[in-house]
Structure 1
């Protein structure tokens, strides 16, 4: 399916590292122009642009936008639309903090909900009507296995990801009849990764390593043995390749899905 996004423009939020960068590179490999976004210095943004170009993007450009600010999100989407019609939106940016309900404060709740859930609402609010007018669009929301099942000490994060899955299903229903098999239609789906090799989970690995009295490998094993039957973490590129496949025209009837990539976690 290489090249199926030739001539298309994609915005991937939080794409200067981790899963977001991997998704941007997979979309680039499919021929898309990539709007890179995230919290980054000038040098970090340039490095991400270079990686995306090397992966195959005909063009790559960094865009700023504070995802905690609805007005800034509107400006971000407009800036990308001015650069090129936005065909693919990947809401990837996310934050997490492991804390009990009793110990969580209002600032933690507000920050996690703002970035993980509200920001995706605002990007879809601005992007989906234009996709509908063009009769083609793909929204891929990077949720989490924690959008399907819960874990202790993650109430704000789990709430944000369950909300993202539910909101995506509503959007899928609202846009299901747009376009045709020939145009590709407008689809909205979630990918729900389990344990994946990213910086986001390093604090949890470190905590488990300390509990186990060992190094990082022991911390990883402790995490996976509790939840992920495959005992293997996913590589971010695997999430990226799934996102790119969901953007193919032949995926026109896959919408409203929440696809786990979790080594059997949610099958238990």
Structure 2
């Protein structure tokens, strides 16, 4: 049973990849959805129409720049105008840059921390008062296995994702008496277009098929050499917003083929 399935949801970074899958899943479950991302206004409008036509729910779109506190405040305000107060906040937006720590560009450090961590804090700070007033709310932070373990050349990403896991626990503790839960989902390898260039490079270099290259890439980290489909992250998010997750809070939930079990 899916209770409270008409609660408005704000999903950052939801015009593609994991975020878009989460938005589709929530809308399919009956939640009005605020889409957010780098899409141009025309593409955003097309997505809104698609969601409204497919799921019969209200849908908004914002391209607010969440690298700043003001941009986060703009996103909350635009969500309130389009759908009402945010009852479900999914902090999914994330960016990546790789380099050794001693060579890491300062501007990339600040940008990754801003999008992957600071935005989640500012958005949670601004929507939780409404959740507390309502006596119900859900914060779902899409972290990463890199919020639990590290990989070389990912200093900013690992720092941000570890910070996001810590922020999740604090929000859970502070709001445990207010009908609000906060949880972190930590995906491993997810089947999105972002990994295809790495698969293609392995296949070309080693003269193997795409499927073999995918298994080689994923198997370097995961005992289960299979990628996770974005829809699986969407389904877990929907569960965290449903009836049977009322007491599930402060959790760090890996979806990683056994990566962090090692």
**Which of 241, 247, 250 lines up with 1:247 in the alignment?**
241
Measure, in 2, the Cα distance between the counterparts of 1:44 and 1:158: 32
Q: CA deviation at 1:10?
A: 0.5
Equivalent residue number for residue 134 of structure 2: 134
Range that drifts further, 116-125 or 200-209: 200-209
Report if the CA contact (8 A) 2:60-2:79 is conserved. no
Range that drifts further, 130-139 or 78-87: 78-87
Measure, in 2, the Cα distance between the counterparts of 1:46 and 1:72: 20
Measure, in 1, the Cα distance between the counterparts of 2:22 and 2:53: 14
Equivalent residue number for residue 212 of structure 1: 206
Report if the CA contact (8 A) 1:149-1:266 is conserved. yes
Report if the CA contact (8 A) 2:216-2:225 is conserved. no
- The 3-state SS of whatever aligns with 1:227 is coil
Report if the CA contact (8 A) 1:25-1:55 is conserved. no
Range that drifts further, 72-81 or 116-125: 72-81
Q: How many residues align?
A: 261
Question: How does the TM-score come out when normalised to structure 2?
Answer: 0.93
Report if the CA contact (8 A) 1:147-1:161 is conserved. yes
Residues 95 and 209 (structure 1 numbering): CA distance in 2 closer, same or farther, change over 3 Å?
Answer: farther
Measure, in 1, the Cα distance between the counterparts of 2:172 and 2:113: 21
Equivalent residue number for residue 33 of structure 2: 34
* Runs of 5+ unmatched residues, structure 1: 179-184
Range that drifts further, 59-68 or 8-17: 59-68
Structural mapping, 1:145-156, within 5 Å: 145-156=145-156
Equivalent residue number for residue 161 of structure 2: 161
* Runs of 5+ unmatched residues, structure 2: none
Equivalent residue number for residue 192 of structure 2: 198
Equivalent residue number for residue 182 of structure 1: none
Residues 102 and 217 (structure 1 numbering): CA distance in 2 closer, same or farther, change over 3 Å?
Answer: farther
Report if the CA contact (8 A) 1:65-1:73 is conserved. yes
Measure, in 2, the Cα distance between the counterparts of 1:112 and 1:216: 30
Structural mapping, 1:89-238, within 5 Å: 89-178=89-178, 185-209=179-203, 211-214=205-208, 216-238=210-232
Residues 131 and 201 (structure 1 numbering): CA distance in 2 closer, same or farther, change over 3 Å?
Answer: same
Equivalent residue number for residue 181 of structure 1: none
Question: How does the TM-score come out when normalised to structure 1?
Answer: 0.91
Residues 123 and 264 (structure 1 numbering): CA distance in 2 closer, same or farther, change over 3 Å?
Answer: same
Equivalent residue number for residue 18 of structure 2: 19
Q: CA deviation at 1:85?
A: 1.9
Measure, in 2, the Cα distance between the counterparts of 1:54 and 1:221: 37
Report if the CA contact (8 A) 1:12-1:37 is conserved. yes
